[in-house]
Structure 1
Amino acid sequence: MKKYVQEDAPIYEALEQFRRMRIVPFDVPGHKRGRGNPELSELLGDRCVNIDVNSMKPLDNLCHPVSVIKAAEELAAEAFGAAHAFLMVGGTTSAVQSMALACCKKGDKIIMPRNVHRSIINALVLCGARPVYVNPDVDRHLGISLGMKVEQVEQAIRDNPDAVAVFVNNPTYYGICSDLRTIVEAAHSHGMKVLVDEAHGTHFYFGENFPVTAMAAGADMASVSMHKSGGSLTQSSLLLVGKDMHPGYVRQIINLTQTTSASYLLLSSLDISRRNLALRGREAFAKVAELAEYAREEINRIGGYYAFGDELVNRDSVYAFDPTKLSVHTLDIGLAGIEVYDILRDEYDIQIEFGDLGNMLAYLSIGDRKQEVERLVSALADIKRRYQKDKTGMLSQEYIPPRVVMTPQESFYAPKEQLPIQEAEGRICSEFVMCYPPGIPILAPGEEITDEIIEYILYAKEKGCSMTGPEDEKIEKLNVVTEKKGGV
């Protein structure tokens, strides 16, 4: 096989060679290079549908790569400082679940913060592992949960010496980072693996002054959303693996749930994006950090808003801060973050990443320019002038510590009944409830439904948050575990 270097893109190059060959297709997909679905060709373009192909010998196979996909994964591992890398076409959700399934089986304990993405709790529903939650500190002014304190992680390890892994989300959606190196050392000293949800940290691997990466910190596995800040197509991701994980076994785990019909559009986008970052990432992300700092200064100059940054760092619950994150606290102008989100989209044609009850996030990356940031700043100033009001009575809390009664798997598969939300107090939830984005559950299977949680859900619905998870699409009822005589 050819010796590839970072300037190469093996999958992309193989697709280009294939496209020039004008092969007659008697295989899937059935649109046959777009001829069978002209509207699809019109939407995506001939070049795109011509390379929407199935696995074949010249293009390798994601389930068992031996040529160009294998080369692309080796280049990704080298670029990210990992022992091995896996191209993922089921999003970072698939990567997170593969990490958990590779380390945990039924009854195993895994230590994790509760402010995690639903994907890891979904993995526990599948494998039957037991979560040991470390409840994060909360910034009371901002209403956001912070990172994992080393002291709390060490206590959880001492209390649960039989745990098999520690899971860390680093950075959080808001850019908050934990002391990853110390957490890895503590976990490894007790024989536990460290799994890192690095969905929002692709750029850490290509920055001079960014927080430490999972691989540099010695973590065993990390899931990286290349499509978020790395520039690849939506749904494409990487799973990075350290030297002490068996790559063949990890591949088997991935193949339990990942498609056997991998999209070459996604695969080639990962390949091209890795090359772009390896060659130009440091310069590009330095500009992103500079643009974010400019935006923070301009937004804070408006007054009323608070675009927070590395002043939050306390070397503990906020060990470091992602300088590219543009998170803005909005409550002091009397508007929830989700309300500012809606106004920006509906009246100013500006789409930001998400808004919650107290904050909004504008996601900056390699495709942003100063003129768009200036438009956002101008719109925020105008919104303050037009819509500012008294904030009395507004909720801000983004995290409510749960009371875990059953494992996610036990409660998800238990006999259940459906109740109106207002009548569900004291019962055990058997499904998820969350605002998406960011996809952090307000309720997860196995947790007790409290008055505070009910109030939060109703308030979030009232403010216009996009609620997902429950079987009831109107989110007026919740599935709860059926009570037995003498308790659940």
Structure 2
Amino acid sequence: MHLEKQGKAPIYEALLKYKSMRVVPFDVPGHKQGKGNPELTEFLGEKCLSVDVNSMKPLDNLVHPVSVIKEAEELAADAFGAHHAFFMVNGTTSAVQAMIMSVCKRGEKVIMPRNVHRSAINALIISGAIPVYVNPGVNKKLGIPLGMSINDVKKAIEENPDAKAIFINNPTYYGICSDLKSITELAHRHDMYVLVDEAHGSHFYFGPNMPVNAMAAGADMAAVSMHKTGGSLTQSSFLLKGERLSTGHVRQTINLTQTTSGSYLLLASLDISRRNLALGGKSIFEKATALANYAREEINKIGGYYAFSTELINGDSVYDFDQTKLSIHTRDIGLAGIEVYDILRDDYGIQIELGDIGNILAIISVGDRALALERLVSSLSEIKRLYIRDKSGMLDHEYINPEVVLAPQQAFYSDQRSVAIKDSIGRISGEFVMCYPPGIPILAPGERITGEIIDYIAYAKAKGSSLTGTEDMSIENIRVLEE
């Protein structure tokens, strides 16, 4: 990274210049710098609305950048150690989909862990690519999926030498990392591309003593959610690319689905956040890691909770651990993670990232403060005192290995009918069922519905999980393939 260049923020600077010119707008958006929507201007502020503008020559065009956006892309690539960086304004979802669609045609295989975000399986439905699932290891005590084992990846490659790519989470939602460098080297020896979902790993590029990032590991592409841990606005991300793929081809693929009206609020937030992290990321994430480790230590002193960390590292399916993820196992105090999640929000005014059947997750990043973490620790201590109960009868698993019968695209577009979930055992699902967050499917199109899955769905609903994915919003019915 060339630090002397990183002080620039070309998109932000171009917007400031545009604002100073007091241009009279006869283009879109129709609110005309906020004048046409005073309530929205009052809510978001005149400064914000005045730079919610359309593409024009002085501000470049995201679809075909030649000036300020092009320069901002080059600075981002330099900051992240990538060959090229694309600004993404349709979320990391569109970055994940662009990665898969850039390298896989209809009918071509991609090796991936089954605990991927739904955006990856959506990409298979859109593109017609065929998944070869490597079931991740599972930590039975915590009930969480781990990373991909090297031997499992080797086996998948041997059995599918025609696969085009390997897709890897770095890290998982819970902070667990696979051996990214070894898997990348193995894939490249077999002439396969390596695609990395780094939705939760933007800090890996800037923090000290972090797990290896995708570009440093030699991966071909990485989808990086700057808005999650890097400080940019929600829905803004980077798609990073190595040297093996054509920049023009990837941009064409992005442009298949990304808006032609890129938000300059999102673009500027990426530009400014990249500059902040390039210049000060080391100290920012050093502090975030220290705060997370302090909170982890204090939570483990309470007893009953287990805030897990690097002690899980086993050199394979848990090759490394992201210490900024404050993942906490709650089942030993007799509460599901989602119950603790709800109590924290409703009774203590604390919103954490997710609660699932056995765990909660607090994301610690650029904006966290020690006082807020003290409040979280004391609230968890009080919740234990007030709500602790016998843990017998609690569901003791989180990840269920799926039985994949059909490719996602084939299942999604097959003839289907709706049946009651309780009557669906043995049928093939035509849609998703997932708790959101984290958005990892319990069921995906083309997978066999089992009694274990139905029990899990019923338990998650009873505990208050937010279930999504089915056409039936009440999740009483599910669409299955016609037999």
Fold agreement, TM-score > 0.5: yes
Q: Which residue of the partner structure matches residue 385 of structure 2?
A: 385
- Structure 1 position 200 matched with structure 2 position 200: yes
Deviations 1:425-458 (A, max 9, x none): 1111011110000000000000000000001011
Q: Which residue of the partner structure matches residue 129 of structure 2?
A: 129
Q: Secondary structure at the match of 2:291?
A: helix
Give yes or no for contact 2:208–2:285 (8 Å, CA) kept in 1.
Answer: no
Distance in 1, matches of 2:396 and 2:170, equals 23
Q: Which residue of the partner structure matches residue 360 of structure 2?
A: 360
Q: Which residue of the partner structure matches residue 80 of structure 2?
A: 80
- Structure 1 position 330 matched with structure 2 position 310: no
Q: Which residue of the partner structure matches residue 473 of structure 1?
A: 473
Deviations 1:316-371 (A, max 9, x none): 11000001110000000000000000000000000000000000001110100100
Aligned ranges for residues 101-116 of structure 1 at < 5 Å?
101-116=101-116
Q: Which residue of the partner structure matches residue 185 of structure 2?
A: 185
Give yes or no for contact 2:336–2:357 (8 Å, CA) kept in 1.
Answer: yes
Aligned ranges for residues 12-411 of structure 1 at < 5 Å?
12-411=12-411
Q: Which residue of the partner structure matches residue 450 of structure 2?
A: 450
AA at the equivalent of 1:414: S
Q: Which residue of the partner structure matches residue 434 of structure 1?
A: 434
Q: Secondary structure at the match of 2:360?
A: strand
Distance in 1, matches of 2:88 and 2:19, equals 23
Give yes or no for contact 2:88–2:238 (8 Å, CA) kept in 1.
Answer: yes
What is the deviation of 1:396? 3.0
AA at the equivalent of 2:81: G
Distance in 1, matches of 2:279 and 2:478, equals 50
Distance in 2, matches of 1:423 and 1:316, equals 40
What is the deviation of 1:463? 0.4
AA at the equivalent of 2:230: G
Distance in 2, matches of 1:480 and 1:31, equals 45
AA at the equivalent of 1:73: E
Q: Secondary structure at the match of 1:465?
A: coil
- Structure 1 position 418 matched with structure 2 position 418: yes
Q: Secondary structure at the match of 1:131?
A: strand
Distance in 1, matches of 2:397 and 2:270, equals 37
Distance in 1, matches of 2:238 and 2:398, equals 29
Q: Secondary structure at the match of 1:167?
A: strand
Q: Secondary structure at the match of 1:222?
A: strand
AA at the equivalent of 1:409: Q
Distance in 1, matches of 2:250 and 2:397, equals 38
Deviations 1:71-109 (A, max 9, x none): 000000000000000000000000000000001111101
Give yes or no for contact 2:205–2:213 (8 Å, CA) kept in 1.
Answer: yes
Distance in 2, matches of 1:284 and 1:161, equals 43
Deviations 1:192-242 (A, max 9, x none): 000000010000000220100000000000000000000000000000000
What is the deviation of 1:393? 0.7
- Structure 1 position 462 matched with structure 2 position 462: yes
Deviations 1:372-393 (A, max 9, x none): 0000000000000000000101
Q: Secondary structure at the match of 1:110?
A: strand
Give yes or no for contact 2:101–2:127 (8 Å, CA) kept in 1.
Answer: yes
AA at the equivalent of 1:285: F
Q: Secondary structure at the match of 1:419?
A: strand
Distance in 2, matches of 1:238 and 1:341, equals 30
What is the deviation of 1:24? 0.5
Distance in 1, matches of 2:207 and 2:69, equals 26
Q: Which runs of 4+ in 1 moved over 3 A?
A: none
Distance in 1, matches of 2:316 and 2:145, equals 13
Distance in 2, matches of 1:207 and 1:352, equals 22
Q: Secondary structure at the match of 1:123?
A: helix
Q: Secondary structure at the match of 2:72?
A: helix
Q: Unpaired runs of 5+ in structure 1?
A: 484-488
Q: Which residue of the partner structure matches residue 9 of structure 1?
A: 9
AA at the equivalent of 1:348: Y
Distance in 2, matches of 1:412 and 1:197, equals 23
Distance in 2, matches of 1:249 and 1:335, equals 49
AA at the equivalent of 2:39: E
- For these two proteins, the number of residue pairs brought into alignment is 481
AA at the equivalent of 1:14: A
Deviations 1:22-51 (A, max 9, x none): 100100000111111100001100000000
Deviations 1:263-290 (A, max 9, x none): 0000000000000000000110000001
Distance in 2, matches of 1:331 and 1:461, equals 17
What is the deviation of 1:398? 1.5
